[in-house]
Structure 1
Amino acid sequence: MHVLSVGLNHSSAPLEIRERAAVTAETLPDALKDLTKHHAVSEAAILSTCNRTEVYCHLETPQTNVISDWLCEYHALQKSDISPFLYQFPDQHAVKHAFRVASGMDSMVIGEPQILGQMKTAFATAHRQGTTGKVLNKLFQNTFSVAKRIRSTTAIGHNAVSVAYAAVALSKQIFTDITEKTVLLIGAGETIELVCRHLYNQGIRKIVIANRSMERTGKFVTEFGADPIGLHELPDHLSKADMVFSSTASTLPIVGKGAIESALRERKQKSMFLVDLAVPRDIEPEVGTLKNAYLYTVDDLEQVVSENIESRHQAVDQAEKIVEAKSVEFMLWLDSLQSIPTLRDLRSKTAAIKTQQLDQAQRRLLAGDDPEDVLNTFAHALTQKFMHDPSEWLKQQNNEERFALARTLFGLDGHTSNSASSTESVTQDVFNKTAKESDT
């Protein structure tokens, strides 16, 4: 049994590549079903955010290429397009990676809490689709538990700065005073909610929220006093916006160069600050070529993330110790699963022997045979039946390590035989111990 994590993130791949490898919320169920059609993949979950796309899977055999091959096939990519940017983590390394990601240790902004919620959503989706099982269920349960422990026992989450916060911090570098600015938010997901909350906390009150579903804008209206509009109304409101923040699940750009050109003309070339937090991008990159249009993407935000870096790095050192210990625990559990089929078969076989001998003993008792004689015969027969296959196997061995293993397996410390042959010695000791325990 093996676990594997394959993906790319903000550190390994530029935005253009991440866009091409992204899996949207709408296509995620189909992607999971398509991935688990591959016979090598027993279980799978896909995490896809603006900063990363990662596949976590359970494989019966260590086939590291199956996921990268699937990514290329699913997204119609050439292997040369994506392979240089992919990372692969097998087994314990995959477990450690999952723990680090959920804890914010692998984020663009160390300690940001948003990724944990995104990971929980990714797992919930996979679980609903039936693409997780015993192994990934345990992995993600442990992942969330480790993330909670790290956040509660280290300073990694103290004063954490999210990507949304970084976007707002960047706006303060463009405008001297943002409190009187008008903000247009496009989308109503978690990222936009975080942006809105940070803006509101900075004193901004002129907020317009644009979304395809008006129902999802309700929270912004009640909590932040935002004015809701539909996406089709964007052209009428762009010219009034000093700042635009966008993060939707659209596969195509929502705001084009022409729309911003028109808005700037209406604003008499008054500056516009635009932040595209979506992957794939919501705002056409060509907008950045326009004079007085300041366009930033998620990759640009890395340059403005600097608060509390030292304290977070110190917390990472503490967190790594937790990650190491808990990943070892998980791998021990995973390794133990290998023994389950053998133990199940052993119990089934011994139960069958017991049933057979018990039936014979009961028939003798009903026939009036002496109970003590019946019990002795029953115990002796059990010992003989239980010992037959191990004894025959040991007689064919000529390996001291296997003899030592047999002594450990049957708990023979303190049980010694005078037989000269190692095979006979171990066999006799096993027989003697089994017989003694049957008598008691």
Structure 2
Amino acid sequence: MSLITIGINHKTAPVSVREKVVFAPEQMSDALRELARLPGLDEAAILSTCNRTELYCSLHAPPLETDIVRWLGDYHHLSGSDLRPFVYELTDIEAVRHAIRVASGLDSLVIGEPQILGQLKTAYSAAAEQGTLGKMLRRLFQHAFAVAKHVRTDTAIGSSAVSVAFAAVTLGRQIFGDITRQRALLIGAGETIELVARHLRGAGLVDLTVANRTPERAEALAREFGARAITLADIGQVLHEADIVISSTASPVPILGKGAVERAIRQRRHKPVFMVDLAVPRDIESEVAELNDVYLYTVDDLQEVVAQNLASRQEAAVEAEEIVDVQTEHFMGWLRAQDAVELIRSYRDRAERARQDVLVKARRQLSQGRPPDEVLEFLAETLTNKLIHEPTTSLHQAAREGRTELIGAACELLKLPRLISEKPKP
């Protein structure tokens, strides 16, 4: 059995490619079941965020990377050849190390950001709910979660408020200088927008509007931050008021088009507006960037801002990588041990059958009136002979054939002194 991860992320593909392979929440159940039906595949989990889409699988047949990449393309109506330049394929130890690094925030656009751990837990729960998790992936994810907690506790990787949301607010402060006088429109009401709202409030911005498809969620977020709540349908009425627009929804189609933004700019008398699209697929049509007086940034554009906030985390990341290396080897030790489970079980079953066989004979002798000491002697001698007969026969054969490497392995396995030279016979 082997582990494999097929993925595409912010390092290997631009947002224009990543947005084509996003799995929407409502697609996840069907996608998991469909993926798990691929020949040779035993377990499956799918992680899909704005920065990455990854398929985690365990296989009982030889690696089927090509089939999995083809499935990913077919599911999203893309050809495998279109995706392959952007796809990475990791197996066994590299797949394990990658999962742990992802959970620990070491593979994120913003090193150490905590959101990915929650997203990975969501992926785990979805796979568990659909019954596509087995012993292997269940153990891998749980181990990755534990290591991520270890990394965050024992290093300073999460000591500063650095995230894509924070980077967006930082960029806004650089553009406007005094952000406290600006008005912000936040589109969406998920975790990312909540973080944006928290950072904007922390920066002193007071005038906040939250727009969401579900009014109840918008109102809940608005209450938390003293903001105004509206629906997506109302955006056109307030867009011209916003100096800052930050959007992050799960909509499969753009929410803001070029025409709507153009009308808002005219109403603003061409006063500049700063827009950040944190969604994948994008919420704001890319053509909006062509408009004068609009500063539009996507998640990919934030990398420079993000880089400026990473200095304090670099040393912590080195420490975290050391933890990851150790914990990767721990997991691989467990994984290798699984190969011996059936062997150990078979060996113990054979010993148990020998014990039961000798015990039956010993009880028969007792029932026939033989002295207990005689029966005990018979039981001990017979059981010993049964247990050591095949190993000793094999050792004799190995010695005759000069297979000193097998004898050396037996000494190590049985904790015996090495009385025979391991130098092969000429």
Q: Deviations over 1:210-244 (max 9, x none)?
A: 11222222431221012111222222222222221
Aligned to 1:403: 407
The offset of 1:396, in angstroms, is 4.9
Contact residue 209 and residue 222 of structure 2 kept, 8 A: no
The offset of 1:81, in angstroms, is 1.0
Aligned to 1:270: 271
Aligned to 2:39: 39
**Which sections of structure 2, spanning at least 5 residues, go unmatched?**
none
Helix, strand or coil at the partner of 1:149: helix
Helix, strand or coil at the partner of 1:26: helix
The offset of 1:403, in angstroms, is 2.3
Q: Deviations over 1:242-291 (max 9, x none)?
A: 22111111111111112212222332333222111000111111111122
Contact residue 240 and residue 267 of structure 1 kept, 8 A: yes
Code of the aligned partner of 2:158? G
Aligned mates of 1:396, 1:282 — CA distance in 2: 73
Tell me the TM-score normalised to structure 2 length.
Answer: 0.92
Q: Greater CA deviation, 387-396 or 13-22?
A: 387-396
Aligned to 2:252: 251
The offset of 1:208, in angstroms, is 1.3
Aligned to 2:59: 59
Contact residue 110 and residue 160 of structure 1 kept, 8 A: no
Q: Greater CA deviation, 332-341 or 364-373?
A: 364-373
Aligned mates of 1:70, 1:175 — CA distance in 2: 46
Aligned mates of 2:210, 2:312 — CA distance in 1: 35
Tell me the TM-score normalised to structure 1 length.
Answer: 0.89
Contact residue 72 and residue 78 of structure 1 kept, 8 A: yes
Helix, strand or coil at the partner of 1:338: helix
Code of the aligned partner of 2:125? A
Code of the aligned partner of 1:400? T
Aligned to 2:20: 20
Contact residue 111 and residue 160 of structure 1 kept, 8 A: no
Aligned to 2:218: 217
Aligned mates of 1:202, 1:309 — CA distance in 2: 19
Aligned mates of 1:411, 1:197 — CA distance in 2: 61
Aligned mates of 2:300, 2:62 — CA distance in 1: 34
Correspondence 1:158-197 to 2 at 5 A: 158-197=159-198
Helix, strand or coil at the partner of 1:47: strand
Q: Deviations over 1:269-323 (max 9, x none)?
A: 3322211100011111111112222211111111222434333222222112111
The offset of 1:178, in angstroms, is 2.3
Aligned to 2:329: 328
Helix, strand or coil at the partner of 2:315: helix
Contact residue 187 and residue 211 of structure 1 kept, 8 A: yes
Helix, strand or coil at the partner of 1:159: coil
Aligned mates of 1:258, 1:229 — CA distance in 2: 20
Alignment of 1:157 onto 2:158? yes
Q: Greater CA deviation, 157-166 or 375-384?
A: 375-384
Aligned mates of 2:42, 2:188 — CA distance in 1: 35
Aligned mates of 2:117, 2:417 — CA distance in 1: 49
Aligned mates of 1:213, 1:308 — CA distance in 2: 34
The offset of 1:130, in angstroms, is 2.0
Aligned mates of 1:15, 1:191 — CA distance in 2: 17
Aligned mates of 1:109, 1:216 — CA distance in 2: 27
Contact residue 64 and residue 88 of structure 1 kept, 8 A: no
Aligned to 1:284: 285
Aligned mates of 2:224, 2:416 — CA distance in 1: 70
Helix, strand or coil at the partner of 2:251: coil
Correspondence 1:220-231 to 2 at 5 A: 220-231=221-232
Code of the aligned partner of 2:193? I
Aligned mates of 1:240, 1:266 — CA distance in 2: 9
Correspondence 1:302-321 to 2 at 5 A: 302-321=303-322
Alignment of 1:8 onto 2:8? yes
Aligned to 1:426: none
Code of the aligned partner of 1:345? S
Aligned mates of 2:77, 2:359 — CA distance in 1: 64
The offset of 1:186, in angstroms, is 1.1
Aligned mates of 1:186, 1:232 — CA distance in 2: 11
The offset of 1:70, in angstroms, is 2.5
Correspondence 1:301-380 to 2 at 5 A: 301-380=302-381
Q: Deviations over 1:307-348 (max 9, x none)?
A: 343332222221121111111111011100111111112222
The offset of 1:37, in angstroms, is 0.9
Code of the aligned partner of 2:187? I
Contact residue 44 and residue 132 of structure 1 kept, 8 A: yes
Contact residue 103 and residue 116 of structure 1 kept, 8 A: yes
Aligned mates of 1:216, 1:366 — CA distance in 2: 78
The offset of 1:380, in angstroms, is 2.6
Q: Deviations over 1:180-227 (max 9, x none)?
A: 222111111111100111111112222111112222224312210121
Alignment of 1:385 onto 2:386? yes
Aligned mates of 1:276, 1:407 — CA distance in 2: 65
Aligned to 1:84: 85
Contact residue 41 and residue 61 of structure 2 kept, 8 A: no
Correspondence 1:95-174 to 2 at 5 A: 95-174=96-175
Aligned mates of 2:96, 2:73 — CA distance in 1: 24
